[in-house]
Amino acid sequence: MYRGKSVWVERVEGDIVELCFDRSDGDINKFDLRTIQEFRDATAAIAKGIGICGVLVSSAKDTFIVGADIFEFRDLFRKTSDQIAEVNADQSAVFTMFEDLPIPTVVAINGLALGGGFEMALTADYRVIVDGAQIGLPEVNLGLFPGYGGTVRLPRLCGVGTALEWIVTGRSRRPSEALAAGVVDFVVTSGDLRSVAISTLRSAAANENWRDRRSSRRGAVAVKDPQTIAALKERAERVANHYPAALAVIELVASSADLGRDEALKAESRAFGRIAKTPTASALVQVFVNDQILKRRSKAYLQSARRIEKAAVLGAGIMGGGIACTSATNGTPVLMKDVASSALDLGLREVERLLEKQVASGRVDAVRATAIRGSITPSLTYAGFSSVDIVIEAIVENVDIKKRVLSEAEGEVGPDAIMASNTSSLSIDVLAAGLKRPENFVGMHFFNPGPVTPLAEVLRGRETSDATVGSVVRYALAIGKTPVVLQDCPGFLVNRVLNAYFVGFSKLIRDGADFIGVDEAMEAFGWPMGPAYLQDVVGMDTSSHVFATIAASYPARMALDFTNPMQLMANVGRYGQKTKLGFYRYVAGVNARPSRHLSEDSRDILVACQPGGQRTFSDMEIVDRMMMPMILEAAVCLQDGIAMTASEIDMALVLGTGFPRHHGGPLAYADAVGLRTVARKCEDLAHLGAAYAAPELLIKLADTGRGFYD
């Protein structure tokens, strides 16, 4: 009856038609513009059909429909709010057209049905779902809410409370939960899916009972749950500043609960047009797209990759223990070598601590924890190194010691083994000098805490081969990390860009800002921790050293002619949480998380770098003076080819530093501010030195009215 590239319709069993989502050029079904148009045409073909008693909707893929094509959002969201609402209403009308077919409809959900996929299923009279499938409305994770009738149909099916709970959490749900909530009608095995769907259709057609069901969903919502709405609203209000979608959808659903379906659908489109224009939606959509871009780039690197079956870690310290634990937890056995048995014990204790945490959180069970422990082999010698595929060096940050140990280890491994260094500040090219096989050498920079932070920077030296990069990317993915491949440079990407941020911090304090005011302004901006608090958590013995090392490599922008605040603290042994005293004072708290308190004398210590005394800065001034150097350093990294794309830079900062997701990363944030505005702010702050000087790339983009993502 109809055949498109994503949808076909055929008569099955005489008077039943099947509308099947079956994308011909992909492994999954999604609602891109083409599919929506085909869904429209297919529905029109069914409407014109004669002698049809019901419609079965199915998918020919493993998943049902995974949702909208988010890559298309970027163009759509460039339109005005009214235009977006108009486009949305036009697309949403296709779903309503299907819902209004004058015959009963059943959807057979064979796998993942998310977002628009689930909203399609909501248009049918009956839903049969395979046990093991998942359904849900994850739009809120993109700063949005459902726009194809989800906010209208779900509450009319299961009540406002349950519907909002589903929409606001964005979590996918299991079939049993959907059945209990009345969202699906039958949960079946995959073998029974089709037959149950067809028999449901036949019995509906015979009894005509679908008509009552349908008309009950045309009017106002029956179950309004004011208490649940109030509770959800209270929670949503707390984060609405940065994440407005939850509050907006609660207000939308509550206010359209008394309307009929068609009026409620109009309200949904209008509200969708507004939420799509929020900076949060734009940033979160960009983060999603960036994540996909990163996955594609990783896939490309895999072409030349070898499989890493067995790893070795040199150094059983904080990082070595964490890397060993991450590797073993994700199925790659690992040798862990150190020079002292006391250090090995420490490393094993670190592994134990991390495993206990995982068992306590239910991520790993006790049996699995034992197996993981068994796949970490502590050693004081190089025994077993001849059979490892990769060695990750995580010993003390000293160039001479690292070079000696790397060269020693190279002599113990096979000719194809990869040698990687987890150095945070030393040059990969410098470390490679003296190795016999520099093509096998690469940087693999993990972040503390190793098992938790999702990012791994993969640093390509001048001589690193494609095969080495590919294999390390493969290993990073295998152990659950997101690899970002970068060119070697001092500080690599994340620490280098963070260093620029701390240049901003140091100059703010020097010019008289109060560190608590700076922390408050940056936390209000969205950082999980303000800069002073972050330094306390990292530990200023290490961070002041890293700061100085990286700053020395970019003297024009980062060298300071005064003692910076981190150094002032470190000079008097106030390293932060580890000494219970830094910018703040810490008291051991519940679950070993120390609580932060004001330390009266911190301000007295900082006076030493404040020749002009203290003065007040507005939050906006603080944000600009902190964020500009970060944006500019990220722009220099893009300009110099340290990373190939703005997407990689932003994702590395989001994954590696807790950069607020709702700002998307430094370059997405700069685009949101507008590069002309950024350039003007740079001019205003030019008296603060080269850290505030816009690089050529930024000026060029600003002059031509473009952004980093154009």
Catalytically annotated residues: 445
| Least spacing, CB of residue 647 vs ligand NAD, in Å | 23
**Integer CA distances (angstroms), 402 to 348, 399, 409, 426, 490, in order:** 22, 5, 10, 10, 16
Q: Is 315 in the site for ligand NAD (CB under 6 A)?
A: yes
Q: Is 302 in the site for ligand NAD (CB under 6 A)?
A: no
Query: Please, how many CA atoms are within 13 Å of residue 482, restricted to the half-sphere of its CB?
Result: 21
Question: Looking at 110-118, 333-341, 356-364, 467-475, which segment touches ligand NAD (CB under 6 A)?
Answer: 333-341
Q: Is 337 in the site for ligand NAD (CB under 6 A)?
A: yes
What are the two backbone dihedrals, phi and then psi, of residue 598, each rounded to the nearest 5 degrees?
-70, 135
Question: Looking at 46-54, 259-267, 421-429, 571-579, which segment touches ligand NAD (CB under 6 A)?
Answer: 421-429
Q: Is 323 in the site for ligand NAD (CB under 6 A)?
A: no
Structure tokens at 643: 């990373």
Place of tokens 């988010």: 70
| Least spacing, CB of residue 410 vs ligand NAD, in Å | 13
Q: Is 339 in the site for ligand NAD (CB under 6 A)?
A: yes
| Least spacing, CB of residue 488 vs ligand NAD, in Å | 15
| Least spacing, CB of residue 116 vs ligand NAD, in Å | 41
Q: Which of 395, 550, 642, 691 binds ligand NAD (CB under 6 A)?
A: 395
- DSSP for 475-543, written as a single string: HHHHTT-EEEEEE--TTTTHHHHHHHHHHHHHHHHHTT--HHHHHHHHHHHT-SS-HHHHHHHH-HHHH
- Which of 337, 496 has the CB closer to ligand NAD? 337
| Least spacing, CB of residue 317 vs ligand NAD, in Å | 2
Q: Is 570 in the site for ligand NAD (CB under 6 A)?
A: no
Question: Looking at 40-48, 133-141, 334-342, 591-599, which segment touches ligand NAD (CB under 6 A)?
Answer: 334-342
What are the two backbone dihedrals, phi and then psi, of residue 533, each rounded to the nearest 5 degrees?
-60, -45
Q: Is 151 in the site for ligand NAD (CB under 6 A)?
A: no
Q: What HEC string does 145-169 produce?
A: CCCCCHHHHHHHHHCHHHHHHHHHH
- Which of 329, 647 has the CB closer to ligand NAD? 329
- Which of 221, 426 has the CB closer to ligand NAD? 426
**Integer CA distances (angstroms), 592 to 186, 357, 587, 595, in order:** 46, 12, 10, 9
Of the candidates 441, 443, 564, the one whose C-alpha atom is nearest the C-alpha of residue 494 is: 443
- Which of 160, 343 has the CB closer to ligand NAD? 343
Nearest residue relative to ligand NAD (C-beta): 317
Question: Looking at 10-18, 197-205, 264-272, 314-322, which segment touches ligand NAD (CB under 6 A)?
Answer: 314-322
* 604 in Cβ contact with 514 (< 8 Å): no
Q: Is 397 in the site for ligand NAD (CB under 6 A)?
A: yes
Interacting residues with ligand NAD between 423 and 482 (CB under 6 A): 423-424, 446-448
Question: Looking at 218-226, 331-339, 434-442, 466-474, which segment touches ligand NAD (CB under 6 A)?
Answer: 331-339
Q: How many chain residues touch ligand NAD (CB under 6 A)? A: 23
Q: Is 504 in the site for ligand NAD (CB under 6 A)?
A: no
- Which of 497, 668 has the CB closer to ligand NAD? 497
- Preceding peptide of 244 cis, ω within 30°: no
Ramachandran class of 51: left when φ > 0, alpha when ψ lies in -120 to 50, beta otherwise: left
Q: Is 486 in the site for ligand NAD (CB under 6 A)?
A: no
What are the two backbone dihedrals, phi and then psi, of residue 128, each rounded to the nearest 5 degrees?
-115, 135
Sheet holding 441-445, edge to edge: 376-379, 334-337, 311-314, 390-393, 418-421, 441-445, 455-460, 482-487
Q: Is 592 in the site for ligand NAD (CB under 6 A)?
A: no
Question: Looking at 265-273, 392-400, 500-508, 592-600, which segment touches ligand NAD (CB under 6 A)?
Answer: 392-400
CA distance 308 to 388: 8
Instruction: Report the b/e string of 654-686 with b at 16+ CB within 10 A.
Output: bbbbebbbbbbbbbbbbbbbebeebbebbeebe
Look at residue 707 and give its three-state secondary structure. Answer: coil
Q: Is 335 in the site for ligand NAD (CB under 6 A)?
A: no
Q: Is 32 in the site for ligand NAD (CB under 6 A)?
A: no
- Which of 116, 461 has the CB closer to ligand NAD? 461
Q: Which of 49, 279, 317, 594 binds ligand NAD (CB under 6 A)?
A: 317
Ramachandran class of 420: left when φ > 0, alpha when ψ lies in -120 to 50, beta otherwise: beta
Residues that bind ligand NAD (CB under 6 A): 314-320, 337-340, 343, 394-397, 405, 422-424, 446-448
